[in-house]
Each structure stands twice: as structure tokens, then as C-alpha cells.
Structure 1
Amino acid sequence: MKTVLHIITSLGSGGAEGVLYRLCAHSNNYKHIVINLTSKSFYNKKLEALNVNVYNIEMDKNFFKFIEIIKIIKREKPDTVQTWMYHADFLGGILAKLLGVNRVFWCVRNSNLKFGQSSFNTILVSKICSFLSYFIPNRIISCAHVAMDYHTSVGYKKNKFVVIPNGVEANTFYYDREMCRVKNEKKTPTIGMIARFDRQKDHGNLFQALKSISQRGYEFKVRLVGRGINNKNQELSKLILESGLVVDTDVFLVDETQSIRQQIDKIDIHVLSSAYGEGFPNTISETMACGVPNVVTNVGDSAHIVGDYGIVVPHSDSQSLATAIIEYIDIRKEKRDWEILQKKCEERIRLNFSTITMVDKFETVWAE
């Protein structure tokens, strides 16, 4: 069996990490090994449960530990190296080529990088990678069309790109008719957003919209889930206070959790209010797979994911966001129409964004 060595910048709860995990869980044609450039994190236990050998290099503590990568590549002798995100593309790609690995594949996910929004270091590394893209990778895999378009516009070699949308884990994220029925019986809807607290996700835009909805006389609850979503977050606490909502009465905060499905089952309408930087937001496809309609900003491939079964609004426009959420609150009152929409959301994801399809596409690219 051939071996794929993955090199990734972290194993936190991000989208790239989730895709890597699903590849390892569902790929039957390759042995998978993972080098994590930083410390142990969210996906370590999950990968170890699959008996995947994971090396945690901790380069965030000591840059010169990159020597460990050289030792691992020499010892494991992988047929293919798949790198994830800019720093891993840069470092892992160069080391793999220097050590004689002929099959090197990059993965890029961002839909844009801007000074003041992304770190200078990340922007610099991406610029270097745009030059190296002509020499290092066999192919560059992108999760979103908008991410491919952005990278080719800043100099990446266009004919090396292939788009493989993220697949949804069907055993975890699926339509539960009884759960949806129970939720639909509730009078007060719960508006949720599953996203780490980050400028990119624009929680400020969300709370401006929620304030407007409240001022128009609508009743609702709010459930926020993700890294940094907790009472210690002073910036988030200020946003909630300014919106006129109250923590633990109107707004429920859930920090990073491995029980995402349990949180989705408590949400009626999912919102992603991102301002920039999205590629393929997994939370949209995962919630839709469970029958949760989405309101999203037109960032990354969000509009492509929801298709005809979600509402897309301009980013950084809280009034448009508020109007869209209200539209779904009103539709939800018509139970039959809402149930049809829930099922259509599930069908769109099942038919277009399955994990099995994603794995097949990765393996096809690796075998070219």
C-alpha cells in the first residue's frame, strides 16, 4: 500500500484539519502519516484513534525542529507528500523535493489575504509560494473556486490547480426527521453561528443584525459555538451588551467543542456573517446536512454551497443580514414550508458534497 505523508501547520479545529482527518478515516487505498508543525491539538486524539501515526514537531516553540521533518521523511519514505496551508506548503514542499519525493501536492484554502487582516508573515510566505508553485507541487488542491481564482490572480501557476470541495461526514452530519420535528415545535427559534471568534468571521456584523431584529419585535435565542466563544472574551461581551441581549438568557456561549452535532441539533437557523477570507466554510455544509437552513454572506464559496436553498447577502451589511434572518423566522412559522426547506438543504449536501466523493477525488489526483 502506498503512503501519503501529510504536513500541516496545526491540528486545531479548522477546516483543513477536518478534511485531513476525513481523508485518513475514509481512504482505503493509502496509508496516512501526519506531521503537525505545532503542538498537540483538537484532531490529535481523533487521528490516533484511527491508528494514524502523528508527529508533533512543535516548531512554534523552536524553529530548528524542522530537522525532525527531514528525519521523518527519510525514515518513512513516503510515495506522496500532501501539505496543508502556506507555511506547510513552503517548508514541507521544499524539504520533500530536496529529499527526492517526486509527488508533492499543496493545499490552499484562503480566498484572499490583505494587510491589516492577515499577518505579514502569512502574506510573505504566500508570495514566496506563488513563485515556488511553478517548481515544487505537482498539483495545487483548492477547496473552493474562489480560492483558486484568488491565488491564480496573485501569481500561482494556474494550470496546476484542481478544486476539490470539502466533503461532509455522513455518519455525523445527517438529517434526523424526529430531531427536526422536535425543534420545529418550539415557538422561539434559535439563531446559531458556529465559528471561532475572529475578525474574519465578523461577529460584530452578526450582533448588529440581531439588535435590529430584536428592535423589530422578534423573539429569538442565540447560540454561538467556537474557539474563543466564552465569558472571558471581553470583546465578545461588549458586542453582546451593545446589542441589548443578555448572556445565558438570550445568548448562549459554547467554546471549542468536539460535540458539534449536539450543538447543531439546538439551532434552527445557522448564520455565517464572515467579512472575508473564507474558502469552503464547513459549518455551512455540516449544518445544512442536518436540515438547518443557512443565511450567509457572499464570501468564499458560501453561495455555491447553499445554492437555491439558502439566503446570500453582501458581507458587512447588517441590515441585509437582519432582513434575511427575519425572512427565515417568518417562513419557519409555516411548518410545512419549513420542513420542505429543511429536507432540500439536506439533499443538496448529500448529493453534492459527500466525503466519499471528496476522498475519491484526492486519490485520483495523487495517482495522476
Structure 2
Amino acid sequence: MPTATIRITHVTTGLEVGGAEIMLYRLLANSDSRYFRHSVISLTAGGTLRPQIESVGVPVFDLGMQRGFPTPGSALRLLRLLGRLAPDILQGWMYHGNLAAWFGSITTRQQPPVIWGIHHSIYDLEREKRLTAAAIKLGARVSGACYRLIYVSHVSREQHERIGYRSDRGCIIPNGFETERFQPSPTSRAEVRDEFGIATDAPLIGLVCRYHPMKDHANFLRAAAQLLPSHPNARFLLIGTDVTPENPDLQALVTQLGLGDRALFLGQRDDMPRLMAALDIGGLSSATGEAFPLVVGEAMACGVPCTVTDVGDAGVMVADTGRVVPPKNPNALAAAWSELIELGADGRALLGARARARVQEHFALPAVTAQYEQIYTQAMASSTCIRDK
């Protein structure tokens, strides 16, 4: 542990619900406040997670930026905030937050060491938003100025280093999971099924993610339609921002595929441990973009075997506790679901127990938090932080 308190300011693109933002909150909530004093600067205002972060005693500031190019005013607000906070270390989260942390370091008198958090995988830069692609490319050029580049997945690290991110600065810290909060619960399973009128013996398959093209909800729903002829009692639970009955694209697809009321759209929920524990099979249908998806680890921690598309490190997470299929292949996804259904409740329970044990052994939050804190301590102990001009 450090001999004196280390002040870390985290600079994040925003604080809406997402994998990186949730991991930031979990890190702050579990960090040892005797040795590490945290603060957060969000480029954008508001955010669902802001009150939660403030509730654990971490001050949150925002620059009030709109989506788009940064303005001179927002840059000035950043520098003034950093002058007040006087951090020993700056940690960026996501591409725009990473660049803001780098800018803050090189333009302030203290020039604290910079750590980046990279929570995205890159399969095709041309498919990224224009500003995101520009931020990724600029990040490659200035990555040598960082003390560490923290990736959450091996695939993400390989992809970024291929386009110029400094390999000698990289390390991997996976996302961490709250195994006491996410755990098997027969009570939750019964309650959720009763709430939504789902039979006790009906296979319940879940997908938890915001509505976005890279999440490929169409792949999930097409697989659902292919599964139903052989397993007509299966039900599908879809949860996440904009994943609602009012989403016209989703409802058009449900009508086209003839899914009727077999697919339930719940939108954003705040009772995820309860809902996860009710599933028979956890799902990931993403086409691209994933690095180390939180929802997969959370389902595994609940003792739920998962079927995932082979994007990011999803396959590494699941290993032999579930099924891994190619992306954009509803036939393969439906076949994998069918395999798990045909194992029966006892067979799935055995897989689920192995999945939970894997999370506890490799991805438990206390161990992950300790890895971050070790990097903070090392950064402070370094006599110099090499920066390439």
C-alpha cells in the first residue's frame, strides 16, 4: 500500500449506464479510501450513475459538453477543475475521456501521470462514428505519453496495438463482478416468472444490453424464431435502454418473425441481480464492439450458463461453462440454445455452478480493484513517468 494518500481524478466521457461507466462506479465503491482519494470529471452533464457515485463519497464534476467537438470553454473548465483538484494521477475512461485526461496532463503545471481505460474492441474503424474514429486514431499517436493503457480484454489490446497504440504501455485488467450481489436465487427465479406469467418449466433466455446496432438484437430475435418450432414453450427476456415495447424497429421485427408475446421487452431496470438469477440461459448476440461484457459475467455469477457470440473476450469469459458461436449467425445461436435446453435443468445447473466458480476465481471485484490500486501505487512510486513528445 502507498505511504501517503494518492489523489486520482477520473475523466470519463459520460455517466450513463454502460459497461465502462459501471466498472468505474464499482471501482470507486470498492477502493480503499484510506489510501486512495478519488474524484470524477464527466465531459457531459448528468448521467444515471452520477448519484450512485456521489453516494459513495466521491465528488463528481462535469464540463457540460454537448456531443461533438470540444469547445475552448470546456477545455478551460477542465483545466480550472484540475487546478483545484490537484490530482496525483489522471485516469481516462473511454476514448474521449482518455484524450481529455491526456490534454489535462500536458497542459497543467503538475503534469500528473496518465492512465487510460480502453473498454472497446475495434473490428472496422470505418464503421465507427466519425468523431470516435478520429479519437481512436489520435489516441494511437499520443499513447506513448501514458503511464499505462489498461485494456479489459486481450482482443481489444491486440486490435489497438495493431493500429499503433504503444505495446510497452499496455496491460490487461478484466472487468470485476460483485459475486455477493449477483448470485443464484431460486426465490428470484420463482418471483420473476410469476411476475411475467412464465411457466416454471419454460426455458427463459435473456439478453441485457442497450438498443444499438452493434448489439444486434435482430440476431437474437431471429434465433428466437428459429428455436421456437423445436421448443415452443421458450420465452425471451430483453432488457436495456430503449429495449421497450415502444421501440418501432423491435416491434416490427417481432411481428415479422411471428414471436407474439413470447418476447418481453422490459427497458432499463434497476433490479438486475433478481432478473439475471431468473434466467435459464444468458445471452450475448453482439456483432462487434464488445471487449469484456459485464452482462455475461453477471449472468455467470448468478449461476446461469451463457451462449455468446465470439466478440471481444466473451468466449474467454465463458470458456467451457457455456457455448460460443460466430456473430451474425442466428442458426448457430439457436442451435447453441437448443443444446443447453436439452441438457435439462440439472445439466444447466452443473454448467452454471462452473460458470459462477470461474467468475469467483478469475474476475471477482476485490481482486480487480487491487490490480487498479497496484497500478496507482506504481505510478506514484516511479521516479519519472516517461512521456514521448
Aligned pair 1:315/2:327, yes or no?
yes
Aligned to 1:359: 369
Aligned to 1:25: 29
Say which SS state the counterpart of residue 133 (structure 1) adopts.
helix
AA of the residue aligned to 1:207: L
Say which SS state the counterpart of residue 277 (structure 1) adopts.
coil
Aligned to 1:212: 226
AA of the residue aligned to 1:321: L
How far apart are 1:258 and its partner, in Å?
2.2
Q: CA separation in 2, counterparts of 1:113 and 1:53?
A: 36
Aligned to 1:83: 92
Which residue, out of 326, 338, 349, partners 1:339? 349
* 1:238-268 CA distance string (max 9 Å, x none): 121122112xx31211112222112213322
Q: CA separation in 1, counterparts of 2:231 and 2:308?
A: 22
Aligned to 1:132: 142
CA-atom RMSD in angstroms: 1.8
* 1:281-312 CA distance string (max 9 Å, x none): 00000010001110000000001101110100
Aligned pair 1:15/2:54, yes or no?
no
How far apart are 1:115 and its partner, in Å?
4.7
Shift in CA distance, 254/178, structure 1 to aligned 2, threshold 3 Å: closer
* 1:105-131 CA distance string (max 9 Å, x none): 011121115355310110011101100
Which stretch of structure 1 is more off in the superposition, 232-241 or 109-118? 109-118
AA of the residue aligned to 2:77: E
AA of the residue aligned to 1:131: R
The residue correspondences of 1:262-301 to structure 2 (distance < 5 A) are 262-301=274-313
Q: CA separation in 1, counterparts of 2:51 and 2:112?
A: 30
Which stretch of structure 1 is more off in the superposition, 62-71 or 275-284? 62-71
Aligned pair 1:237/2:251, yes or no?
yes
How far apart are 1:140 and its partner, in Å?
0.3
How far apart are 1:215 and its partner, in Å?
2.7
Query: Unpaired segments of 5 or more residues in structure 1?
Result: none
Which stretch of structure 1 is more off in the superposition, 178-187 or 236-245? 178-187
Aligned to 1:143: 152
The residue correspondences of 1:163-174 to structure 2 (distance < 5 A) are 163-174=172-183
Which stretch of structure 1 is more off in the superposition, 106-115 or 320-329? 106-115
Contact 1:89 1:106 in 2 (8 A): yes
Which residue, out of 41, 51, 55, partners 1:45? 51
How far apart are 1:5 and its partner, in Å?
0.2
AA of the residue aligned to 1:122: T
* 1:201-242 CA distance string (max 9 Å, x none): 111111111111113353211110001101221111112112
Aligned to 2:118: 108
Which residue, out of 265, 269, 289, partners 1:253? 265
AA of the residue aligned to 2:74: K
Aligned pair 1:58/2:64, yes or no?
yes
Which residue, out of 101, 107, 112, partners 1:98? 107
Contact 2:309 2:326 in 1 (8 A): yes
Shift in CA distance, 187/299, structure 1 to aligned 2, threshold 3 Å: same
Shift in CA distance, 37/113, structure 1 to aligned 2, threshold 3 Å: farther
* 1:130-149 CA distance string (max 9 Å, x none): 00012x21110000010000
Query: Unpaired segments of 5 or more residues in structure 2?
Result: 379-389
Contact 1:164 1:358 in 2 (8 A): yes
AA of the residue aligned to 2:132: T
Shift in CA distance, 56/169, structure 1 to aligned 2, threshold 3 Å: same
Which residue, out of 239, 245, 248, partners 1:225? 239
| Pairs aligned (count) | 363
How far apart are 1:185 and its partner, in Å?
8.6
Contact 2:9 2:89 in 1 (8 A): yes
Say which SS state the counterpart of residue 176 (structure 2) adopts.
coil
Contact 1:190 1:223 in 2 (8 A): yes
Contact 1:78 1:101 in 2 (8 A): no
Say which SS state the counterpart of residue 191 (structure 1) adopts.
strand
Which residue, out of 115, 119, 124, partners 2:129? 119
Contact 2:189 2:279 in 1 (8 A): no
